[in-house]
């Protein structure tokens, strides 16, 4: 892993135009949230690998935490856990979401780590389980989410791609809203349509698309589109 990849722009440079774009996305989410339809638990996903999900989820968590909200980032990619690298934490340490799911008597506090960002905590994915989808597709996940929602103001779940495994679809039915990352020159239109259908099937609330431009992220090219 190159050192460059482990740095997060919203931590490194709070005043860069890119960080400002993450704040715009934050504002859009806050506007989409209402008393009747609060957006407290939000899933970040996309059609395939390498479209920028983990990057967005992590930066969004950081700028959300700037508003003095208590924020939790969950690494929901139980197969390719990478979110922890940005917070100098190891995603596949002993405890994480997978161990909470497989042990009904465990409590989230056992696995949650604090980060270098004030008011941002991180729940790692935990060791890779043999059956991620089955583990997620359980009432135990609802229970964990309920406990976490009592402790945090805003929770972001990073996830695997929607079209590769069913994990993200399972998450989508349990969260308040879903953000789809679309990467320029990479995301295929028909795959995006497939995602829409999957999300409708799981009665998920698609709150918007985040367009991740082809130019390097340091050039800054994030846009938010309301669905
Ligand atoms: N717009 C972009 N320009 C250049 N590199 C990008 C861009 N978006 C993402 N990347 C890079 O692509 C790789 C995958 O990003 P990541 O956020 O881990 O995607 P995912 O979680 O969807 O697999 C990372 O190395 C990231 O730095
Ligand atoms: Mg990822």
Q: What is the pLDDT of residue 87?
A: 85
Q: What is the pLDDT of residue 2?
A: 42
Instruction: Calculate the average pLDDT of the chain.
Output: 91
Q: What is the pLDDT of residue 1?
A: 38
List 177's β-bridge partners, or say none. 42
The closest residue, in CA terms, to atom 4 on ligand 1 is 216
CA 29 to ligand 1 center in whole angstroms = 22
CA 110 to ligand 1 center in whole angstroms = 30
Q: What is the pLDDT of residue 159?
A: 98
Distance CA 95, CA 55 (A): 22
Q: What is the pLDDT of residue 174?
A: 98
The closest residue, in CA terms, to atom 11 on ligand 1 is 52
Q: Which residue pairs from 27-32 have beta carbons closer than 8 angstroms and sit at least 24 positions apart in sequence?
A: 28/208, 28/224, 28/226, 29/177, 29/179, 29/207, 29/208, 32/177, 32/207, 32/208, 32/226
Q: Indicate if the pLDDT at residue 50 is higher than 80.
A: yes
Q: What is the pLDDT of residue 195?
A: 97
- More confident of the two residues 225 and 200: 200
Per-residue pLDDT averaged across 22-31, rounded?
95
Q: What is the pLDDT of residue 220?
A: 45
Q: What is the pLDDT of residue 5?
A: 62
Total count of domains within the chain? 1
Structural domain harbouring 111: 3-226
State the pLDDT confidence band at 209, using cuts at 50, 70 and 90.
very high
- More confident of the two residues 208 and 88: 208
Percent of the chain residues topping a pLDDT of 90 = 85
Per-residue pLDDT of 86-117, as tens digits, reads: 886 655 468 999 999 999 999 999 999 999 99
Structure tokens at 53: 């999900």
**Counting ligands in written order, which one lies closest to the CA of residue 60?**
1
Q: Indicate if the pLDDT at residue 176 is higher than 60.
A: yes
Q: What is the pLDDT of residue 185?
A: 92
Per-residue pLDDT averaged across 127-151, rounded?
97
Query: Which CATH number does the domain housing residue 17 bear?
Result: 3.40.50.300
């Amino acid at each position: 892993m190159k050192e460059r990849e482990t740095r997060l722009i919203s931590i490194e440079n709070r005043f860069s135009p890119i960080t400002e774009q993450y704040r715009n996305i934050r504002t859009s989410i806050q506007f989409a949230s209402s008393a009747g339809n609060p957006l407290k638990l939000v899933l970040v996903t996309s059609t395939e690998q390498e479209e920028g999900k983990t990057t967005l989820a992590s930066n969004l968590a950081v700028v959300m935490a700037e508003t003095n909200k208590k924020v939790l980032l969950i690494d929901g990619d139980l197969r390719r856990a990478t979110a922890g690298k940005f917070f100098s934490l190891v995603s596949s340490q002993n405890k994480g979401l997978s161990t909470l799911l497989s042990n009904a008597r465990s409590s989230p506090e056992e696995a949650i780590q604090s980060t270098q960002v004030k008011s941002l905590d991180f729940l790692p994915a935990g060791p890779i389980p043999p059956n991620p989808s089955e583990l997620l597709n359980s009432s135990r996940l609802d229970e964990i989410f309920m406990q976490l929602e009592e402790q945090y103001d805003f929770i972001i779940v990073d996830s695997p791609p929607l079209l590769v495994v069913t994990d993200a679809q399972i998450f989508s039915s349990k969260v308040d809203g879903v953000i789809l990352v679309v990467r320029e020159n990479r995301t295929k239109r028909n795959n995006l349509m497939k995602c829409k259908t999957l999300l409708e099937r799981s009665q998920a609330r698609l709150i918007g698309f985040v367009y991740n431009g082809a130019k390097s992220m340091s050039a800054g090219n994030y846009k938010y589109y309301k669905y």
